[in-house]
Homo-oligomer: A and B are copies of this chain.
Amino acid sequence: MLRLSKLTDYAVVVLVRLAGTGDVQTSPGIAAATGIPEPTVAKVLKTLTLGDLVSSQRGARGGYRLNRALEDIPIADVIAAIDGPIALTACVDGSSLGCESQGLCAMRGRWDPVNDAIRRALTAITLADMQKGLLPAFRTPSPAARLLSAAE
């Protein structure tokens, strides 16, 4: 089902909220503003910090602050930060034994172009595009967007 983790969904909401004010915001504050349970918000924020999307300020009057503008954050980055690298995981996991030994897993590596296409599509859309329902990526055709529109 190509499921995207719910955490990623939360992350988008949190990031957009974080962009609302240029000021630092605490995780309880964001939790209250978004309705997402506080511990979960904290977890998301922590993960986003590791992904270098937000910066944290410790201590009293601390909080989180956005690193880049929404326009400069493709969702691909958010997904990568939360869910790890974007890949449809063909036989990437350690089970290369029954695969290689038979020598007939002819599809090995064939998913790469598919992954690539998805990565492209996900890089073409930024958080700013999601905030407003508009999609400039499809108007000013980026290379990826042109590929996509050419496909229809």
Contact = CB atoms under 8 A, between A and B. Distances in A.
Interface of A: 1-5, 9, 12-13, 16, 33-35, 75, 79, 83-91, 98-99, 101-102, 104-107, 109-118, 120-125, 129-131, 133, 135, 137-138, 142, 144-145, 147-148, 151-152
- Looking at A3, A5, A84, A145, the one whose CB has the most chain B CB atoms below 10 A away is A3
B4 A75 contact: no
A138 B48 CA distance: 32
Secondary structure at the A interface, as helix, strand, loop or mixed, is helix
A116 to B, nearest CB: 5
A106 B2 contact: no
A34 to B, nearest CB: 6
A113 B91 contact: no
Contact of A107 (B86, B88, B98, B130): B130
Contact of A121 (B4, B99, B118): B118
B123 A144 contact: no
Contacts of A35: 98-99, 101-102, 104-105
B147 A112 contact: yes
Given A114-B130, A120-B151, 20 more contacts: A1-B84, A3-B3, A4-B88, A4-B111, A35-B104, A35-B105, A107-B130, A109-B133, A110-B148, A113-B130, A113-B138, A113-B148, A116-B144, A116-B145, A117-B121, A117-B125, A117-B138, A121-B148, A123-B151, A137-B151
